[in-house]
């Protein structure tokens, strides 16, 4: 728990120092008016890739690639596409990400409060309505598939349906390359993109420090998380867990058929997780602490950032959309982005590509 809290504090401080928490930085990135966010984001991901690959090569920790968010709609990666689009759309509406909204609220950016409230509502809708619906539909589909397989097996003349090969989960299995080759390739591509964006756009007008330095600071937080927790950064589980806690206190125990005889019996409710909540509170505290200790990196209550033109309704809608989208996708800009992409996870690249498409489309329309 202590390591989780310290990691959260450091992450919150790094978000403020890097400047990527500012609504203008996020909105300008989605419309490609400047690349401050991209420069910090790719630098942090490149640093994380070195850290995660090294930790696994020396046997210190083991991290599996992020799995596909199969929601049973149209493809094994349907949740990554739909959730990513919704995540990006919510970012364009609110000027926030599931993690940066905590830093926004901590430093007093008004739209951040409404976006955070919308995000908590989105997590509750996911936990109470969307997640159960997806699980129920997938159970029905599995039962139908099992029944069809049983019927086919009972017919001697029916040929067996060959099992589908699982989709490759990382670049190594997708392209048939080694870990070292994947790492060198990623570092080279990201370095080229960051270098080109700096040459064309510069560091961005909101930059208090170099976005590359800010990305390296986030990478250092990832290093601490790996060393101290053997776990990677990710924030959006907060919204799901907050929804689960609300349901825990507002619903009765679940009912299930009794083991013997008729009737039903109540099963004890499962206590929701607290790790993501501790981590998120620590992010808020770290962002707040750095903004007070180093006011230059924060915003004043009367600044343009704190009195953003993003309306409360727009911020709340955006927060709702991005939180729900992140849960449909199974991660956000930190979990799928910085962490998942550093593991070369195909699902994470699909999610983040969809997020930039969704955010860009909404950004153009606004």
Question: Tell me: the pLDDT tens digits for 257-290?
Answer: 444 455 556 667 789 999 999 999 999 999 999 9
Q: Could you tell me if residue 158 is inside a domain?
A: no
Q: Could you tell me if residue 34 is inside a domain?
A: yes
Task: Evaluate if residue 305 carries a pLDDT over 70.
Answer: no
Q: Could you tell me if residue 323 is inside a domain?
A: yes
- Tell me the per-residue pLDDT of 65-94, one tens digit each, with 9 for 90 and over: 999 999 999 999 999 999 999 999 999 999
Give the confidence band of 255 by pLDDT, cuts at 50, 70, 90. very low
Domain containing 288: what range?
Answer: 2-135+168-254+267-365
- What is the pLDDT, as a whole number, of residue 254? 55
Lowest mean pLDDT among 141-155, 208-222, 275-289, 325-339: 141-155
Give the confidence band of 316 by pLDDT, cuts at 50, 70, 90. very high
Q: How many domains does the chain have?
A: 1
Token pair in block for residue 185? 């390739």
Closest to 85 in 3D by CA, of 302, 292, 286, 360: 360
Q: What is the pTM of this model?
A: 0.91
Q: Could you tell me if residue 202 is inside a domain?
A: yes
């Amino acid at each position: 728990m202590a390591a989780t809290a310290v990691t959260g504090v450091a992450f919150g401080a790094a978000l403020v120092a890097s400047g990527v928490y500012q609504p203008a930085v996020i909105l300008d990135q989605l419309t490609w008016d400047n690349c401050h966010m991209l420069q910090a984001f790719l630098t942090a991901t490149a640093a994380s890739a070195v850290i995660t690959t090294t930790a696994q090569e020396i046997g210190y920790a083991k991290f599996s690639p992020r799995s596909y968010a199969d929601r049973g709609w149209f493809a094994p990666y349907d949740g990554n596409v739909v959730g990513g689009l919704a995540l990006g759309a919510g970012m364009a509406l609110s000027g926030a990400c599931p993690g940066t909204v905590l830093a926004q609220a901590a430093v007093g950016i008004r739209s951040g409060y409404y976006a955070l409230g919308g995000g908590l509502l989105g997590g509750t809708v996911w936990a109470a309505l969307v997640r159960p619906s997806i699980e129920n539909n997938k159970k029905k589909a599995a039962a139908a598939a099992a029944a069809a397989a049983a019927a086919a097996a009972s017919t001697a003349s029916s040929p067996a349906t060959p099992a589908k090969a699982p989709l490759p989960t990382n670049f190594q299995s997708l392209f048939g390359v080694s870990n070292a080759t994947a790492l060198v390739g990623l570092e080279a591509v990201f370095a080229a993109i960051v270098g080109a964006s700096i040459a064309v756009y510069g560091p961005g007008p909101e930059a208090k420090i170099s976005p590359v330095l800010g990305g390296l600071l986030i990478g250092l937080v990832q290093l601490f998380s790996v060393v101290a927790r053997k776990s990677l950064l990710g924030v959006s589980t907060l919204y799901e867990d907050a929804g689960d806690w609300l349901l825990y206190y507002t619903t009765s125990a679940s009912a299930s058929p009794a083991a013997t005889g008729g009737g039903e019996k109540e099963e004890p409710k499962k206590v929701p997780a607290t790790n993501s909540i501790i981590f998120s509170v620590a992010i808020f505290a770290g962002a707040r602490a750095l903004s007070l200790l180093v006011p230059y990196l924060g915003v004043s209550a009367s600044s343009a950032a704190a009195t953003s033109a993003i309306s409360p309704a727009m911020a709340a809608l955006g927060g709702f959309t991005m939180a729900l989208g992140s849960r449909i996708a199974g991660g956000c800009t930190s979990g799928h982005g910085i962490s998942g992409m550093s593991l070369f996870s195909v699902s994470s690249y699909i999610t983040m590509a969809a997020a930039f498409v969704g955010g860009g489309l909404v950004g153009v329309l606004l």
